[in-house]
């Protein structure tokens, strides 16, 4: 159906160059977008320079977004530098966010570094936060990227909302890495609300690795509410080691 709309024939023509011509010269933005979708489906690597021109130079936001999605789905390494150009330009924030989510799907170290850099260096709080979530999805779903990047963002970001996003992203990463990062934050964090969030997250891990951290808080923290939260978190873990820690706490308090 799409081919018929574009060229008035059947859908057997797969001349990518023909669709590139439509992308470049058609007067209708909708027709140009349709051509972008066809080039995307054909995975036409030769179209990358034209897609770059659309993304960086066109005025229509939806057409530019369509070109970004095409860059993502064509899935050639040459797309990453183009997406990076978008992030370094003065483009609309929504367009930059689309570029972030496209970069998220690449599994190389360079793309992870780009997301990390945007999260820390962008002057736009919304974009920096989007970079955090894109980095989280990459680490969580693709098992690529260094989880400690989230810890560094938490420590260094100038935006409270970005730091909070990094903290919640650490919560969503399962395993010892998250527990180690929580332990590192607790060593220097003074905000009781953040400490409480971490304590409850440690309980949700249901991991014995979290027990020494929670036991120390339950026994030594100056804030009685946080001590109570640590006891509750140990109860959430509920393993034999957690119950043993609770008994030890009760004995020492007695």
Lowest pLDDT segment from 3-7, 73-77, 146-150, 156-160: 3-7
Q: Which two tokens stand for residue 125?
A: 């709080």
SS3 222: coil
Indicate the pLDDT class of residue 9, thresholds 50, 70 and 90: very low
Contact 245, 214 (CB under 8 A): yes
| Tokens at 7, concatenated | 């060229």
> Which of the listed CATH numbers 2.60.40, 1.25.10, 3.40.50, 3.30.200 matches domain 181-254?
1.25.10
* 21-68: pLDDT as tens digits: 899 899 999 999 999 999 998 888 899 999 999 999 999 999 999 999
Residue 226: C-alpha distances to residues 28, 120, 202, 218, 252 (Å): 62, 30, 13, 7, 17
CA atoms in the 13 A half-sphere facing the CB of 81 = 4
Question: What are 87-119's pLDDT values in tens digits?
Answer: 988 889 999 999 999 998 887 888 889 999 999
Q: What is the mean pLDDT of the chain?
A: 88
Outline where DSSP puts E strands in the chain. Answer: none
């Amino acid at each position: 159906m799409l081919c018929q709309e574009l060229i008035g024939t059947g859908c057997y023509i797969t001349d990518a160059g023909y669709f590139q011509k439509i992308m470049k010269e058609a007067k209708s933005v909708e027709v140009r977008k349709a051509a972008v979708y066809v080039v995307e489906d054909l995975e036409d690597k030769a179209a990358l320079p034209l897609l770059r021109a659309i993304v960086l130079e066109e005025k229509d936001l939806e057409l530019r977004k369509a070109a970004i999605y095409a860059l993502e789905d064509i899935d050639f390494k040459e797309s990453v530098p183009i997406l990076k150009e978008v992030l370094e330009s003065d483009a609309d924030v929504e367009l930059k966010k689309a570029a972030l989510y496209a970069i998220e799907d690449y599994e190389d170290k360079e793309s992870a570094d780009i997301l990390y850099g945007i999260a820390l260096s962008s002057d736009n709080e919304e974009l920096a936060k989007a970079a955090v979530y894109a980095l989280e999805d990459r680490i969580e779903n693709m098992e690529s990227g260094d989880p400690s990047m989230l810890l560094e963002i938490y420590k260094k970001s100038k935006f409270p909302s970005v730091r909070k996003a990094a903290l919640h992203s650490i919560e969503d990463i399962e395993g010892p890495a998250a527990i180690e990062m929580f332990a590192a934050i607790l060593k220097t964090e003074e905000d009781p609300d953040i400490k409480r969030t971490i304590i409850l997250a440690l309980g949700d891990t249901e991991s014995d690795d979290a027990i020494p951290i929670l036991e120390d808080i339950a026994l030594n923290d100056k804030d009685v509410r946080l001590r109570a939260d640590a006891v509750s978190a140990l109860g959430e873990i509920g393993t034999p080691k957690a119950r043993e820690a609770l008994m030890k706490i009760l004995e020492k308090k007695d």
